[in-house]
Amino acid sequence: MTLTLRRIGNSNGLIIPAKMLKSLSIVENDLIEAVECNGGIFLKKIGVNVPDTPFSVLDRWYEENGFSENDPIESALNYVDSIKADRVDKGCPKW
């Protein structure tokens, strides 16, 4: 995707299409980290609103609850389902 750098007051900025922002679960006033990398700029959402994936949700559940081979997997999967339902309610993109 090609973006055009535009003058905004005393600064410059990029207009990021709404469809892309929605797919990344980025909303106005979210914190974005900009890193110079190999002659380019890499943008990454930071903070508590980083988009969840099924794997990141499972990782968080394991960190909070621990897990051993003898534990039933159902409780972890129920947790993932609850996060998935919450994302749908908030209009976030599907996994």
pLDDT value of residue 33: 84
Residue pLDDT tens, the chain, 95 long: 899 999 999 999 999 999 888 888 788 888 888 888 888 888 888 766 555 677 777 777 777 777 666 767 787 788 778 877 776 766 666 66
Dist CA 56 CA 38 (whole Å): 28
Map out the domains of the chain with their CATH numbers. 5-46 (2.10.260.10), 54-89 (no CATH)
Cα-trace Rg, the chain: 18
52 CB-near residues (< 8 Å, 6+ apart) = 83, 87
